[in-house]
Amino acid sequence: MEPTIFTRILRREVPAAIVHEDELTFAFMDAGQLNPGHVLVATRQQAETLLDVDEDTAAALFRTVHRVARAVQAAFQPEGLTILQANRVAGWQTVPHLHVHVLPRHPDDGVGLVWPRKNPSLEELRRIAARIRL
């Protein structure tokens, strides 16, 4: 597997503004900065998606997301936060390395998300739920 840009950042082969590192995760400023304080939190393990890591790694990732989100809130006082984790190209993933965006939000910041509702019936929702029930 070729190293991703995130793996290369972790190895210090590519410069980045690192916010946090621990044994399972690291966090750094998104070079694209949709708003000031936009941080990416990634796994040290080069895994493509959330489905490719074990539960402990996933938990560690979201513990770090929580810590970073609190730090971003304290530093920038945004009116909202968007936490975004995408898997595979169809799910909007652009770098094939498991990561989460911590994005401070402000009214009219120009960041959008299209979410066309399908509004299935309750019966259909129950059929779908039965397929995924744990």
Which residues are identified as catalytic?
Answer: 99
Backbone phi, then psi, for 65, in 5-degree steps? Answer: -55, -45
Q: Exposure pattern of 44-67 as b/e (b: 16+ CB <10 Å)?
A: bbbbbebeebeeebbebbbebbeb
CA dihedral 84, 86, 89, 93 (to 10 degrees): 60
Identify whether the C-beta of residue 60 lies closer than 8 Å to the C-beta of residue 84: no
